[in-house]
């Protein structure tokens, strides 16, 4: 092996062997359940939950698909992604997508925004919702 490849090999080894230890701890995303109990979000599991969203959404800025880009969605006003053709229901909902709002929305999107064109039944598990929000936050920087 050539010596000039050594730093690369070393970096790869560090990345490989430190990966389990690098598992991010669940974080407080400012979400509470119906009983007022805080639910921490695990971005790593959220990445798996996001597979359900990824048919329609990307977290890359400006990447609109069937749904608008979710880059930086936490804290954003509803219906404000450029070049995305929202339904009037979403656009005029007046919602600011705080983590708590997204948490409630994802339980049953059509309930919070009647007439939305987001054709997704929702995530029944509170933990899945918190985890996907942690993922969105972690991947919007
Ligand atoms: C079948 C496609 C589809 C799936 C699956 C889907 N969405 Fe959506 N989503 C949409 C569409 C379309 C809109 C725009 C709704 C409108 O204009 O009425 C939307 C809107 C949203 C919004 C509001 C964005 C804004 O700018 O106002 C959020 C937040 C959101 N989706 C999150 C999610 C998350 C998180 C998941 C996965 C748990 C998910 N969606 C799954 C299609 C989808």
Cβ of 58 below 6 Å from ligand 1: no
- 3-state SS, one letter per residue, for 77-112: ECCCCCCCCCCHHHHCCCCEECHHHHHHHCCCHHHH
Whether residue 53 lies inside any domain: the answer is yes
Q: Which atom of ligand 1 is nearest to the CA of 81?
A: 26
Cβ of 119 below 6 Å from ligand 1: yes
Cβ of 106 below 6 Å from ligand 1: yes
Q: Which atom of ligand 1 is nearest to the CA of 102?
A: 29
More confident residue, 141 or 104: 104
Give the dihedral of Cα atoms 49, 26, 72, 62; nearest 10 deg.
Answer: -40
With a pLDDT cut of 70, the percent of the chain lying above it is 84
Whether residue 11 lies inside any domain: the answer is no
Whether residue 132 lies inside any domain: the answer is yes
Whether residue 72 lies inside any domain: the answer is yes
Whether residue 13 lies inside any domain: the answer is no
Give the CATH number of the domain where residue 123 resides: 1.10.760.10
Cβ of 68 below 6 Å from ligand 1: yes
User: Mean pLDDT, the chain, as a whole number?
Assistant: 90
Q: Any idea what DSSP says for residue 21?
A: T
CA of 127 to the centre of ligand 1 (A): 18
How many structural domains are present in the chain?
Answer: 1
The per-residue pLDDT for range 75-111, each reduced to its tens digit, is 999 999 999 999 999 999 999 999 999 999 999 999 9
Could you tell me the maximum CA-CA distance found in the chain, to the nearest angstrom?
63
- 3-state SS, one letter per residue, for 34-65: CCCCEEEECHHHHHHHHHHCCCCCCCCCCCCC
The per-residue pLDDT for range 111-138, each reduced to its tens digit, is 999 999 999 999 999 999 999 999 999 9
Provide the domain limits for residue 110: 24-138
Whether residue 3 lies inside any domain: the answer is no
Cβ of 24 below 6 Å from ligand 1: no
1 pLDDT above the threshold of 80: no
Whether residue 115 lies inside any domain: the answer is yes
Would the pTM of this model clear 0.75, i.e. be above it?
yes
Whether residue 131 lies inside any domain: the answer is yes
């Amino acid at each position: 092996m050539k010596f000039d490849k050594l730093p690369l090999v070393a970096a790869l080894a560090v990345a490989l062997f430190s990966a389990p230890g690098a598992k991010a701890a669940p974080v407080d995303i400012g979400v509470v359940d119906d009983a007022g109990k805080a639910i921490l979000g695990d971005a790593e599991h959220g990445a798996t939950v996001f597979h359900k969203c990824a048919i329609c959404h990307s977290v890359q800025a400006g990447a609109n698909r069937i749904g608008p880009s979710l880059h930086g969605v936490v804290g954003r006003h509803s219906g404000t992604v450029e070049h995305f053709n929202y339904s009037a229901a979403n656009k005029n909902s007046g919602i600011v997508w705080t983590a708590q709002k997204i948490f409630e929305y994802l339980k049953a999107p059509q309930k919070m925004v009647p007439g939305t064109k987001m054709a997704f039944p929702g995530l029944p598990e509170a933990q899945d919702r918190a985890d996907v929000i942690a993922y969105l936050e972690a991947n919007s920087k």
